[in-house]
Amino acid sequence: MTASKHNISAALLEWYDSHARSLPWRAAPGSAAPDPYRVWLSEVMLQQTTTAAVAPYFRKFTQRWPDVQALAAAPEEDIMAAWAGLGYYSRARNLAACAREVTALGGFPGTEAELRKLPGLGAYTAAAIAAIAFGERAVVVDANVERVVSRLFAIEEPLPGSRKAIRANADTITPDDRAGDFAQAMMDLGATICTNRDPRCLLCPLTEACEGRAAGDPARLPVKPPKKAKPERKGAAYWIERDSAVWLVTRQGTGMLGGMRALPDDGWTARADGSGEPPLGGEWQSAGLVRHVFTHASLELSVFRHEGGFDPEGEGEWWPVEQIEEAGLPTLFAKAARLVLA
């Protein structure tokens, strides 16, 4: 490598001072650290979700619950409803649990080790909060950083096996000072310059130090294993309407989309097919099909509609059809509702 480890971090921070993205949860480069609550909330939301998708949710959450104490006091069903559409709903359940624990502690702990003990905080999230909110030197590695470090050090081992080497190399260039700015600079470099396809090497502040570029083809790094085909599932959802209201249920808290309001369905999960048929009794009409892709499976959901004298079994609630967008349905069932109402 043609540049020292110190020069790498210095060059990246100098670039960040001029090119940092303006994001609603960020503090400007070199300024006082942001509120740990805002850092934590944004990092949880950003897990496997794009910045563009997260920004409006972050604004909505912080307007409604401006601090961790307010979030801790909120009913979990309200948090789940506000989360609807962001996906990976276990994050929302962990969010509620973590807010309650932080409030009981009197505030966020300021070290990576203590942050790791909170519900839903893995290695990356704890390191990011420690560095960005508390200025602790922590090695922060997300997908963007994986890509930058893999190319910078020309790490040839395929993911996920290369993650140990990626973290070790990221550790060598993480500075003692401005740890939070450095972590965000690495994220920004991966998001805007060292992109997955067609990296913009001529604009990169680390181009002279990059071993992947010197080898001639940085875009092929990191080496990824071949994708496995996702299993295809089938299921059915039921729109039961009476007096301009639709019957909604709350899904079991530990299953698929657990704790969310939803249309009744035939019991499909990511690992099992449903019948794809309406229940016996009454006159059902087909409203069409909804297709949705989850992390581990794709789903073809048949949607059936019933109006009038059908009495649903089990617990649920009648929700005004004209207010269905306020029910906080997860994306799959929001698609089904739009299909019925189209």
- Are 43 and 135 within one domain? yes
43: annotated active-site residue: yes
Q: Which amino acid is at 44?
A: V
Q: Does any domain span residue 335?
A: yes
Q: Is the per-residue pLDDT at 3 higher than 60?
A: no
What residues does 305 pair with on adjacent strands? 239, 285
Asked if residue 301 lies in contact with residue 287, where contact means CB atoms within 8 angstroms, the answer is no
Contacts of residue 293, Cβ cutoff 8 Å, sequence gap at least 6: 230, 299
Q: Which candidate, 253, 178, 189, 247, places its Cα nearest to that of 218?
A: 189
d(C-alpha 142, C-alpha 162), whole Å: 13
Q: Which amino acid is at 59?
A: R
- Are 79 and 167 within one domain? yes
Could you tell me the residue range of the domain that residue 325 belongs to?
232-341
Residues 260-270 pLDDT 10s: 899 999 888 76
**Using H for helix, E for strand and C for coil, what is the string for the chain?**
CCCCHHHHHHHHHHHHHHHCCCCCCCCCCCCCCCCHHHHHHHHHHHCCCCHHHHHHHHHHHHHHCCCHHHHHHCCHHHHHHHHCCCCCCHHHHHHHHHHHHHHHHCCCCCCHHHHCCCCCCCHHHHHHHHHHHHCCCCCCCCHHHHHHHHHHCCCCCCCCCCHHHHHHHHHHHCCCCCHHHHHHHHHHHHHHCCCCCCCCHHHCCCHHHCHHHHCCCHHHCCCCCCCCCCCEEEEEEEEEEECCEEEEEECCCCCCCCCCEECCECCCECCECCCCCCCCCCCCEEEEEEEEECCCCEEEEEEEEEECCCCCCCCCEEEEHHHHHHHCCCHHHHHHHHHHHC
Q: Does any domain span residue 162?
A: yes
- Are 196 and 312 within one domain? no
Q: How confident is the model at residue 78 (pLDDT cuts 50, 70, 90)?
A: very high
What is the predicted pLDDT for the residue at 280? 63
Residues 85-142 pLDDT 10s: 888 888 998 999 999 999 999 999 999 999 999 999 999 999 999 999 999 999 999 9
Instruction: Give the CATH number for residue 302.
Output: 3.90.79.10
Asked if residue 180 lies in contact with residue 135, where contact means CB atoms within 8 angstroms, the answer is yes
Q: Which amino acid is at 186?
A: M
What is the predicted pLDDT for the residue at 43? 96
Q: How many structural domains comprise the chain?
A: 2
Instruction: Give the CATH number for residue 214.
Output: 1.10.340.30
Q: Does any domain span residue 15?
A: yes
Across the chain, what does the average pLDDT equal?
Answer: 92
Q: Does any domain span residue 310?
A: yes
Last residue within a domain, chosen from 189, 220, 251? 220
Q: How confident is the model at residue 295 (pLDDT cuts 50, 70, 90)?
A: confident
Average pLDDT over residues 169-195: 96
Q: How confident is the model at residue 309 (pLDDT cuts 50, 70, 90)?
A: low
Q: Does any domain span residue 250?
A: yes
What is the predicted pLDDT for the residue at 37? 98
Q: Does any domain span residue 148?
A: yes
- How many other CB atoms sit within 10 Å of the CB of residue 317? 12
Q: How confident is the model at residue 294 (pLDDT cuts 50, 70, 90)?
A: confident
What is the predicted pLDDT for the residue at 227? 84
d(C-alpha 298, C-alpha 310), whole Å: 30
Q: Is the per-residue pLDDT at 224 higher than 80?
A: yes
- Are 188 and 255 within one domain? no
- Are 193 and 244 within one domain? no
What is the predicted pLDDT for the residue at 281? 63
Structural tokens at position 170 = 């990221």
Q: How confident is the model at residue 276 (pLDDT cuts 50, 70, 90)?
A: confident
Q: Does any domain span residue 108?
A: yes
Q: Does any domain span residue 306?
A: yes
Q: Is the per-residue pLDDT at 336 higher than 90?
A: yes
- How many other CB atoms sit within 10 Å of the CB of residue 104? 8
d(C-alpha 102, C-alpha 72), whole Å: 8
What is the predicted pLDDT for the residue at 269? 77
How many percent of the chain have pLDDT more than 90?
A: 75
Average pLDDT over residues 29-39: 93
Q: Is the per-residue pLDDT at 215 higher than 60?
A: yes
Last residue within a domain, chosen from 175, 190, 220? 220
What is the predicted pLDDT for the residue at 274? 77
- Are 185 and 236 within one domain? no
What is the predicted pLDDT for the residue at 256? 75
Catalytic residue among 43, 136, 208, 315: 43
What is the predicted pLDDT for the residue at 4? 64
How many percent of the chain have pLDDT more than 70?
A: 96
What is the predicted pLDDT for the residue at 296? 81
Residues 197-208 pLDDT 10s: 999 999 999 999
Q: Is the per-residue pLDDT at 297 higher than 70?
A: yes
Average pLDDT over residues 153-166: 96
d(C-alpha 67, C-alpha 65), whole Å: 6
Average pLDDT over residues 69-93: 91
Q: How confident is the model at residue 72 (pLDDT cuts 50, 70, 90)?
A: very high
Q: Is the per-residue pLDDT at 184 higher than 80?
A: yes
Asked if residue 261 lies in contact with residue 83, where contact means CB atoms within 8 angstroms, the answer is no
Q: Is the per-residue pLDDT at 1 higher than 60?
A: no
